[in-house]
Amino acid sequence: MKKRWLIVAGLTLLGGVLAEVPGVVAGNWAQGPLGLILQPAPATPGGGTVYKVGAYPLYTAELADGEGKELVMSYCSICHSVTYITMQPPLANWKPTMDKMLKTYGGEKFIPPDVAEKILAYLQAHYTPETRKE
């Protein structure tokens, strides 16, 4: 029982001492926007050769009509935009490009071989430098 009274008396004494220390009871905390991340002010652009770029357009190319277009839209766009298709490599490069996408990148897991052949035929017919629209 005596030990308990000593602990209570010690804590009371300690509380009285800490109450006199500046900044402990009253707090010495600066007011601020809790939870907000402060960001630096934006730099003001100068004149001369400095320019800015606005928002980039979101462009999805319109593929040429033909047999296989729906297959290309449904299978090829799973991994990449169809805009890549309109970059038109030479005719001989479509087969190695398709093989790379099927074997190296794992497309053969979800593109059946007969569908891959139809996609290749569509690409070779519509997207080569020779078939480019001026």
Is 129 part of any domain? yes
Token pair, residue 61, equals: 């190319």
Handedness of CA 62, 113, 105, 78 (dihedral sign): positive
Domain containing residue 98: 88-134
Tokens 């047999």 belong to residue = 67
Nearest to 123 by CA among 83, 64, 81: 64
Average pLDDT over residues 20-37: 62
Q: In the Cβ-directed half-sphere of 34, how many Cα atoms lie within 13 Å?
A: 3
- In a domain, residue 8? The reply is no
Residue 121 has which token pair? 């035929």
| Total of domains in the chain | 1
Give pLDDT, residue 66: 92
User: Tens digit of pLDDT for each residue in 40-97?
Assistant: 777 776 677 766 677 776 777 889 999 999 999 999 988 888 888 887 777 788 999 9
